[in-house]
Structure 1
Amino acid sequence: MTGNAQQSIQIKSVDPVWEAVRASAQQIVDSEPALANMALSNILNHARFEDALAHRLALRLGDEDVSADMIRQAFEETLRDAPHIGEAARTDLVATMERDPACDRAVEPLLYFKGYQAIQTHRFAHAMLNAGRRDFALYLQSRSSQVFQVDINPAVKMGKGIMLDHGTGLVIGETAVVGDNVSMLQNVTLGGTGKSDQDRHPKIGNGVLIGAGAKVLGNIRVGDCSRVGAGSVVLKEVPPRVTVAGVPAKVIGEAGCAQPALVMDQVVLVYDKTS
């Protein structure tokens, strides 16, 4: 081998989401001096996206019972055993940027958007529950409900590419499952019926859009790429690729696009067939 061939090759890892977050944090430092310390302490002083995520969430969730520093340490321990949290959090951030017209920069969900922060808090709580740390998981659920007005049981299985628009009033019960690339708006409930301790909550397929104030109740499936109109009450299975609306909800037509969750079109036209 030549001398050059024997030299070690340095390969720089590429993390485009983290680079975009850092670039927009630097914009805050440059344009808004009053917020420069926030951008530095939450974003620019960290080497990895995961470190910034754990730091920011811990600051939001800490209180007199459990300090922000203790929560951050617990998150760091969890990340070592569940590194997929970082991948899912990046995917959720990209989903928020692509679907939310109010999101202009990559740093905004991480710093400001409580829907995004609530989903990431749930990801840590779910991993802790699976690791046997039930009380810490329940504590995170309680704090997320207080701080973000989002109440997701730690046992809920959540896919990637989730976007909670606003998030306020969202409730998801213990045995619910949410697929990939799902969008939900404020005041959505994925709830149970009765007092059964068995599988009693909805199963939401991939690419589903659930409009503001919709209630999906019971162990029913909402099929892939379907759309639930705002204010609807869904009590029966929803086939794939349709739109349902009303109280109780009924199929009123096709979904209108391949993946409603990505398009975010909540306009549902209901035609009166008797007229």
Structure 2
Amino acid sequence: MLVSRLGRESPMPKHLEVVTSDTETPVWVALRNQAEHAAKAEPALASLLNAVILSHDNLADALTFQLARKLGDQEMRAMTAREFAADAFEDDRTIVEAAEADLKAVFERDPACKGYVQPFLFFKGFLALQTHRVSHWLWNQGRETLAFYLQSRSSEVFQVDINPAARIGKGVFIDHGTGIVIGETAVVGDDVSMLHGVTLGGTGAERGDRHPKIGKGVLLGAGAKVLGNITVGDYAKVASGSVVLRPVPAHCTAAGVPARLVNCPTCEEPAKTMDHTLAETVYSPNSYEI
């Protein structure tokens, strides 16, 4: 079902139905079950839950509806936004698989998250990331202007600014979302967690490959800035408020302005445990610069 600007529902056109095989995936089944329970527990939201989740056959259909509902505006109708989102999901099955992994990551890593319904409906970090996945598909299709339009809408609606050319893996958790900036040539690996205010930026006006490369399972604390074409190794950790200007080895923690290495090795999977603690040696004169 589609919901017009006046709130009325209308049948979803057949050409927008995404042919998928995820109808009975555990995440989709759990999302539907939780939505049914929520609709009974809170009748005021029953119409919303039905329109966004319960009226759909699979995660892809529900997600195209939700993104279109959030991103549609006077310049681009929700139906149009849904059409190219559906095209992206049908052309590249890995986009839907990544979205499912992202949804699981939010639930598993955010102690404030009670289930899948919360992030799917309300968490702007999750929704901004799915918007980026569509804009990145458009970018790779050569539809750069439309990709930039989606980037702009995501920045307006979710306060998250991700260049459509940036490459982001699956199972990524963006907590809170506000103030996230990810530059054009940045790469973010699988299973990364980042909090609000993170910047993956350049160091000047140079062109070419100029943004950070974030490895698998990295934890980026609130307000962390990683600048330049440098690598943050797998399972490393960047403390909140830090400014990283040099590479960070795998399994190490960087903290400070400018950042120093303060703990090698760090915990085994910081992005999954969301372990923000620092070693006691963080303020020791023996701490060494990156």
> Normalising by the residue count of structure 1, what TM-score does the alignment of the two structures yield?
0.93
Distance 1:219 1:274 in 2: 28
- Which has the larger Rg? 1
Contact 2:23 2:57 in 1 (8 A): no
Residue 103 of structure 1 pairs with residue 103 of structure 2: no
Residues 165-204 of structure 1 aligned to structure 2 (within 5 Å) = 165-204=175-214
CA distance in 2, matches of 1:78, 1:187: 28
Distance 1:129 1:140 in 2: 11
Q: 2-side partners of 1:49 and 1:80: how far apart?
A: 12
Q: Report the Cα distance in structure 2 between the residues aligned to 1:38 and 1:93, rounded to whole angstroms.
A: 19
Quick one: which amino acid aligns to residue 139 of structure 1? Y
Alpha carbons 2:23, 2:58 under 8 Å: kept: no
2-structure distance, mates of 1:139, 1:13: 31
Cα deviations across residues 37-74 of structure 1 (Å, max 9, x unaligned)? 00000000001100000100110111111011110111
Aligned partner of 1:84 in structure 2 is: 94
- Paired residue type of 1:116: F
1:114–1:167 contact (8 Å) kept in structure 2: yes
Q: Distance in 1 between matches of 2:216 and 2:52?
A: 32
Partner of 1:71: 81
CA distance in 2, matches of 1:12, 1:26: 19
SS at match of 1:244: strand
Query: In 2, Cα distance between the equivalents of 1:255 and 1:114?
Result: 32
* Aligned counterpart, 1:35: 45
- CA distance in structure 2 between the partners assigned to 1:41 and 1:13 by the alignment: 17
Greater shift in the superposed pair: 164-173 or 130-139: 130-139
Task: Structure 1 unaligned segments of length 5 or more: list them.
Answer: 1-10
Q: Give the TM-score normalised by the residue count of structure 2.
A: 0.89
CA RMSD of the aligned region, Å? 1.6
Question: What residue in structure 2 maps to residue 273 of structure 1?
Answer: 284
Candidates 36, 52, 58, aligned match of 1:48: 58
Q: Cα 1:27–1:185, aligned 2, differ >3 Å: closer, same or farther? A: same
Q: Please list, as runs of the form range in 1=range in 2, the aligned pairs for 1:1-275 lying within 5 A after superposition.
A: 14-271=24-281, 272-273=283-284
Q: CA deviation at 1:270?
A: 4.8
Shift of 1:256: 3.1
Tell me the alpha carbon deviations over residues 7-39 of structure 1, each in whole angstroms, 9 at most, x when there is no partner. xxxx99631110010001101110101000000
State whether residues 225 and 255 of structure 1, in contact with CA within 8 Å, keep that contact through their aligned partners in structure 2.
no
- SS class of match (1:216): strand
Q: Partner amino acid for 1:155?
A: A
The amino acid across from 1:168 in the alignment is: T
Identity of aligned residues (%): 53
Alpha-carbon distance in structure 2 between the residues aligned to 1:84 and 1:102: 28
Corresponding letter in the other structure for 2:275: D
Does the Cα contact within 8 Å between 1:149 and 1:169 map onto a contact in 2? yes
Report if the CA contact (8 A) 1:224-1:240 is conserved.
yes
Q: Which sits farther off after the overlay, 264-273 or 56-65? A: 264-273
